[in-house]
Amino acid sequence: MHSKHSSQINETISWVGKWTFVLAAAGSAVGLGNIWGFPYKAGTEGGGAFVLIYLLCILAVGLPIMMAEIIIGRRARKSPVNAMKNAAIDSGKTSNWQVVGWSGLISGILILSFYSVIAGICLNYILISASPAADVSSVEQFGIVTSSSGRLLFWHSIFIALNILIISAGVVDGIERMVRLLMPMLFILMLVMVINAMINGDFARGLSFLFAPDFSQVDATTFLRAMGQAFFSLSLGMGSIMCYGSYMPQNENIFKTSLTVAGLDTLIAILAGLAIFPIIFAYGMEPGTGPGLVFVSLLSAFVDMPFGNIVGPAFFALLSIAALSSAISLLEPSVAYFEEEKIVSRFSAAMILGLFAWFIGIGSVLSFNDWSDISFIGNLNFLDSIDYLTNQFLMPLGGMMVAIFAGWFLKSNLALDELSSSHILIFKIWKFFIKFISPVLVAAVFVYQLVS
């Protein structure tokens, strides 16, 4: 059995660079939610206290599930559907576990459909912030952008086209090449923005907002929010990490690599907070205004700022890069499956699935204007409904099932084989968390989100 396993590896694609998996997985993990969501939640949920709880949640929930996804993906060297199926069969269980892989593929395409519309707005804002209209307030500007379905559709189409181009070029020539270019750019832009916040912002207040622990703000919901953020920010439960793990070279250490990805993801989120909040305080804005803050409040700050016409575009370029590095990981698992099953070529798969996501995304484009009053799930518009379906249902369910499978059904020697026998202690700790701690905590988040 083992010799078949190693001969099979030689035929499959794998990342060339040692750091590629880390960059690709961090790229997948760092998205629009990180750059805005994490700092905002940290600021409103007790600052440093939240950051501390978040780090604990990353270790208790995020890391074990991420390792489980990589173990299952790398062992099979297949897309999430077949990786789950193989892992189940090799463990003497039913192949029905592949349903977990399917739910990942579906949530990836659904998330991409609305994510692309918001990322399109970021692309549009690179131009808008370079030469803001003097007589238009930033609130009016956002209204102008979102009320035109034609404009939103144009940028949504551009963003999806970029995804199709990168994915169709292949794992090494497309994804690897892009993440090795995009992620260093993301870091450099991030540092530029932090320096800008030091010069033009109220940096001391930003620091205390993010890091001064206020335990009076901490209650049970803080733990649940931190746990949700830890789970979602590592992009677990949607097949991306499992798929990227299947390209990970056999000699790479899964534990160390996962730890690095979690660390990078958190670092970027904290840097984002240091880049954004000092500016918000210096210009007397409210940190709790949610996602609109990025497009409305920050744009007006860039207009008033020295060199704002350079800093502004740099910031929206940063957001667009973060969005693109996440988006390619949403499309890749489905494309990998189509290619592996020889349904169509990689290029055709990228085109078909990309256009499918583009088509569903039209509903999200219209949610900002023509369909803004139409409810789909409960009283939610189309975009919010798809967001609700993926974030509150499919992803936590997927993550929970991966944890249950890896903890209770996956044969221990298969996991130990991937984690390499030298780390027997790490294996034992991982096994304990993935069996008893992670599934219970994800279930708690799942129930909390449904109830709230």
The model's pLDDT over 228-279, given as tens digits with 9 standing for 90+, comes to 888 888 889 899 999 999 999 988 899 999 999 999 988 988 898 898 889 8
Tens-digit pLDDT profile for residues 117-172 = 999 999 999 999 998 777 788 888 988 999 999 999 999 999 999 999 999 999 98
Euclidean distance between CA atoms 262 and 280, whole angstroms: 27
Contact 257, 241 (CB under 8 A): no
Residue 80: CA atoms inside 13 Å, Cβ hemisphere, count? 33
Tens-digit pLDDT profile for residues 44-71 = 787 888 888 998 999 999 999 999 999 9
**Whether the predicted pLDDT of 338 surpasses 80:** yes
**Whether the predicted pLDDT of 415 surpasses 50:** yes
Percentage above 70 pLDDT, the chain = 96
pLDDT at residue 4, as a whole number: 37
Could you give the number of structural domains in the chain?
1
Give the range of the structural domain holding residue 349, as residue numbers without chain letter.
2-451
Dihedral, 403, 404, 407, 410 alpha carbons, nearest 10: -100
Mean pLDDT over the full length of the chain: 88
CATH number of the domain bearing residue 432: 1.20.1740
Euclidean distance between CA atoms 257 and 22, whole angstroms: 6
162 burial type by CB count under 10 A (0-12 exposed, 13-18 middle, 19+ buried) = buried
Contact 323, 28 (CB under 8 A): no
**Whether the predicted pLDDT of 293 surpasses 80:** no
Tens-digit pLDDT profile for residues 75-111 = 999 999 999 999 999 998 998 999 999 999 999 999 9
pLDDT at residue 288, as a whole number: 67
Which token pair is 258? 């996962």
